[in-house]
Chain A
Amino acid sequence: MRIGASILACVLCLPAVAAERDWRLDRPHPVVDPAYGQILYDYYQGQQFAALSHILLALETGALPTQSERAQVLLGALYASYGMPGEAEKLFDQLLARAVDDELATRVWIHLGQLYYQQQRYTQALSILDTRVVDVPADLRQPYHALRTRILMKLGRYDETEGALADLGDGSVLGGYLRYNLAVSRINAGQGDAGEALLWQLANLPPGDEENNSLKDKAMLALGVHYLRSGAPARANEVLGAARLEGPYSETALLLHARAWLALQEPGKALPSLQELSKRSMQFEEAQEASIALPYLYEQLGDDATARHLYRQAIRNYTEHFRYLGELEVRVRRGDWFLDLVQMPTWSTAMDPVPPFQPRRVDSFATFRQLFASHDFHTRWRDYHEQWRQVRLLEQWQQRLPAMHELLAAHIRKHRDQVPRAEALLADVETANYPGTLRELEGRLQRAVSDNDFRVLATDEQRRLIAQLDQAALAAERWPDKLAEQKEKLDFYRRVMQWEVESRRVPLVWQREKVLAGLSGELDDMETLVERIRHASSGDMNRITQLGYQLAETHNDLVALENRGRGILTRQQQALEAKALAVIDYTRTRLKAFTAECWIALGDLENRALRQRYGADVPGDRSSE
């Protein structure tokens, strides 16, 4: 029975990985602020780090005047999926404490539910979804129902889970994986019939892409295990006989197939599956098991000679594999295994997303096949590469810092060159006193208008003539008797001139006022420019000085942070290596047990042979015990 349970556990380990992948918000968001649109541009492309950075940047610079809260909801969701649950929870709590609108609050509650699910707080998560979320936003419908399905499954409320699955809708791969998980959960909970029905739904799916076929294979395997466990080996045999001979589940299927024949009391028919398995690499656990099972079968069939031969061969295989594990352990402890396995992803920039999980196909790949397939390993592997990306980002910034210093120096040079010129210009403007001059001109015009001083309205030529007339009149004053006639003439000319000017008084006054108004406007523009120059020449230096200090501080922070990052990288590598070492230890223990069993079996065989040859004087064998 234990084989069934363990294989079921093994078959169960993958869906979580595949199911997690589909948790995204990627449905259209209405964009009002361009900065929010830019954030979505990164987010929809799966560039979490870039999206996070741009949200923080936009919030800092006030670039989200209308969509700040929406961006914060997205920020919280990104924090949660980026391994920063503490930050996410803090942010969600802050958002909910504020009076955000209902639609936004619903989004926050759904994300908070997801966060609680990740933290294994299932009851709280379900309570939030059921009491707080009334109308699920269209773009969150699939994540919401998937989350609710998972939570109900974890709580063991399987009937409700089926209802939630129905809400999720058929056809999606995510739905398929959740159905599979539910089926296996129901079987393990003693609800075999319900689980079996769900598994058959999956097994009967039409052939599709690789993922779809893999899901069908898993369903068939789970059915086989279920039938074996429930004492229906004939049905198990039927299901497992249809399994594919290639693919990641073929070894398990072969072993289970043999098991089904044995359960049907037909050991002879179990032989082909075990023979096929024994040809495969000893790195597969199923092949290790087949190595001992095969001679046992021959022994059962009465072929002691072949059994003896195969036991010895199994011992040789185990010994050789044991030695291989020793060498592998040395490689793991030296760090060579990790270096072989890991591929340094190529990023065009440090803001790019982490590439998908692709450990290099090294010789030891099959040894750790199940480890590589586990959710935990995937998470650690992704975290390791994410860490590398962050360290690379810090390196890149350090490389760019000299250029930034150079830019800053250029700004300072420019500032030093231009500020004195600006100050000289400001001094000239101050000295020229343009506003004072304008005020004086305006005053003169006003006075002339009120005093009827026609001279102010005269043209330059007229003004020259009037001045000459005035001079002539002054000269005529010296000889009033002799020049009385000329004086009258001059007075006449002057009056003619005055008449000529004053006849056009209204348009001339309007013209002068217009000129003065134009000058006033230009003076205002000049004031604006002067203010900008004054601001630039004073404030600019403060900004540059601040930037200089910030750059200097940042350099030290970058170095310290990079060192911290490298320390974490080392710990992450050690954690992954520890997992590999645990697999090696576990395999060794198995091999030791198998080898001991082989030796015991060989001893029994020899004992039996001796008894047959020499009669009853030889002590009895253990196989009868």
Chain B
Amino acid sequence: MMRMWVLLLLVVTPVHASDLDQDMATFRKDVLEINKRLLLMEEELLSPADTQLAIFVSLDVGNFFVPDSITLTLDGETIESHLYTDKEVEALKNGAVQKIHTTNIKNGVHQLTAFVTGKGPNGRDYRRGATLDFEKAHGRHYIQLKMEDDAAAQQPVFNFKSWK
């Protein structure tokens, strides 16, 4: 009978910190550090603080609007077009903020326009534009496009928030 009951065994190795794990952890730490240094240097070179304009997008609640795409124009020129994936929309619905574009502009008056498409109330196709006139002064300038639900009107609203 012995040969009938030859066993199926599974090699299950317990998880423990080996030298390799330790080396990987140290390596990852070093990579994160150098990546941070390089990102900082790149930003310093590409978008110096004095001329930097960063544009953010947020979605509050999202019952009346789910974005499909967004196109940004600055002073009449298209600077960014973005198509949203389901994961990105989900992240926005959970309260995340997307840094959609960073650019350099001169001090003075500018006009930013956002064209947003997506699904509006009752799943209908929805397209809307929103414009902001702003003055860029010294230092970094941030603009946030807030896509919010207007519960009273049962419609989405698109507002800009501008700060330095």
Write the residues of chain A forming the contact surface with B, with a CB cutoff of 8 angstroms. 2-3, 5-7, 9-10, 13, 26-31, 34, 36-38, 40-41, 43-46, 49, 52-53, 56-57, 60-61, 82-87, 118, 252, 255, 262, 285-286, 289, 292-293, 296, 370-371, 374-376, 379, 383, 386-387, 390, 393-394, 397, 400, 404, 407-408, 411, 532, 543, 547, 550-551, 554, 557-558, 561, 564-565, 568, 571-572, 575, 579, 582-583, 586, 590, 593-594, 597, 601
Is B56 a contact of A28 with CB atoms below 8 Å? no
Contact, CB under 8 Å: A579 / B4: no
Point out the residues of chain B lying under 8 angstroms from A370, CB to CB: 10-11
The answer to whether A61 touches B40 (Cβ under 8 A) is yes
- Cβ contact of A289, chosen from B8, B39, B41, cutoff 8 A: B8
- List the B side residues contacting A37 at CB < 8 Å: 56, 58, 95-98
Assess whether B88 is in contact with A45, with CB atoms less than 8 Å apart.
yes
Distance A296 CA – B6 CA, assembled complex (angstroms): 13
Contact of A57 (CB < 8 Å), options: B12, B29, B40, B91: B40
Contact segment of B30-38, B110-118, B120-128: B30-38
For the complex, what is the distance from the CA of A551 to the CA of B41, rounded to whole Å? 8
- Chain A binding site: helix, strand, loop or mixed by DSSP? helix
Q: Which residues of B contact A575 (CB under 8 A)?
A: 20
Chain B: residues with Cβ within 8 Å of the partner, total of 54
B152: interface (CB < 8 Å): no
If the complex has contacts A60-B36, A83-B24, A554-B41, are A44 and B11 also in contact, measured as CB distance less than 8 A?
no
* 28 cross-chain CB contacts under 8 A: A2-B7, A3-B5, A9-B9, A27-B94, A29-B94, A36-B97, A37-B97, A38-B98, A40-B94, A40-B95, A40-B96, A41-B97, A44-B87, A57-B36, A84-B29, A255-B8, A286-B8, A296-B4, A370-B11, A374-B10, A376-B15, A387-B24, A390-B27, A394-B31, A394-B34, A532-B138, A583-B11, A597-B3
B98: contacting residue among A41, A43, A376, A558, CB under 8 A:
A41
Q: How far is the CB of A318 from chain B (nearest CB, A)?
A: 12
Closest Cβ–Cβ distance, residue B116 to chain A (whole Å): 17
- Separation in Å of the B30 CB from the closest CB of chain A? 6
- Establish whether residues B142 and A404, one from each chain, have CB atoms under 8 Å apart when the complex forms: no
Bound-complex Cα distance A44 to B36 (A): 20
In contact, B12 and A9 (Cβ under 8 angstroms): yes
Contact in complex: A390, B28 (CB < 8 Å): yes
Which one of B4, B31, B34, B87 has the greatest number of beta carbons of chain A within 10 Å?
A: B31
- A375 to B23 alpha-carbon distance, docked (Å): 20
Chain B residues in 8 Å Cβ range of A390: 27-28, 31
Please report the C-alpha to C-alpha distance between residue A57 and residue B9 in the assembled complex, in whole angstroms.
Answer: 48
B94 to chain A, nearest CB (A): 5
Instruction: State the CA gap A552–B12 with chains docked (Å).
Output: 47
CB contacts (< 8 Å) of A34 on chain B: these are 56, 97, 99, 142, 144
Dominant secondary structure of chain B at its interface with chain A: helix
What 7 A-B pairs are tightest by C-beta distance, nearest first? A37-B97, A44-B91, A41-B96, A40-B96, A6-B7, A597-B3, A28-B95
Q: How far is the CA of A49 from the CA of B20 in the complex (A)?
A: 20
Question: Are A374 and B11 CB-contacts (below 8 A) given A554-B41, A575-B20?
Answer: yes
Contacts of B25 in A (CB 8 A): 83-87
| Set of chain A residues within 8 Å of B24, measured between Cβ atoms | 83, 383, 387, 568, 572
Q: Which of A255, A296, A376, A550 contacts B41, CB < 8 Å?
A: A550
For B31, give the chain A residue with the smallest CB separation. A390
Do B15 and A379 have beta carbons less than 8 Å apart? yes
User: How distant is the Cα of A370 from the Cα of B13 in the complex, in angstroms?
Assistant: 12
Q: How far is A400 from B41 in the complex, measured between Cα atoms in Å?
A: 12
Q: How many A-B residue pairs have CB under 8 A?
A: 193
Given the known interface contacts A38-B98, A292-B3, A564-B27, the answer about A376 and B13 at a Cβ–Cβ threshold of 8 Å is yes
Instruction: Determine whether B90 belongs to the interface, using a CB cutoff of 8 Å to chain A.
Output: yes
With A83-B24, A376-B15, A390-B31 known as contacts, the answer to whether A38 contacts B9 (CB < 8 A) is no
Contact B94 A44 (CB under 8 A): yes
Contacts known (A30-B95, A44-B91); A38 close to B56, Cβ less than 8 A: yes
Contact between B44 and A547 (Cβ–Cβ < 8 Å)? yes
**Chain A residues near B33 (CB-CB < 8 A):** 56
Bound-state CA distance A414–B12 (Å) is 63
Task: Report the separation of the CA atoms of residues A139 and B142 in the bound assembly, to the nearest whole angstrom.
Answer: 29
Determine the residue in chain A with the shortest Cβ distance to B45. Answer: A407
- Provide the bound-state CA to CA distance between A91 and B96, in Å: 24
Say which residue of A285, A557, A572 sits within 8 Å of B20 (CB atoms).
Answer: A572
A404: B residues at CB distance < 8 A: 41-42, 45
Q: Are A561 and B30 neighbours in the complex by a CB distance under 8 Å?
A: yes
Q: How far is the CB of B12 from chain A (nearest CB, A)?
A: 6
> C-beta contact mask, B73-87 vs A, less than 8 Å → 1, else 0?
000000000000001
Tell me which residues across on chain A come within 8 A of B34, comparing CB atoms: 394, 397, 554, 557-558, 561
Instruction: Given contact pairs A87-B25, A296-B3, A379-B15, enumerate 11 new A-B contacts (beta carbons under 8 Å).
Output: A3-B7, A27-B94, A37-B95, A40-B95, A43-B96, A44-B94, A53-B36, A57-B39, A86-B25, A370-B10, A383-B24
- Do the beta carbons of A83 and B21 come within 8 Å of each other? yes
Specify which chain B residues have a CB less than 8 angstroms from the CB of A6 in the assembled complex: 7-10
Known contacts A38-B98, A41-B96, A547-B44; is-contact A582 B5 (Cβ 8 Å): no
B66 contacts partner chain A, Cβ-Cβ < 8 Å: no
Residues of B within 8 A of A601 (CB): 3
* A568 in contact with B97 (CB, 8 Å): no
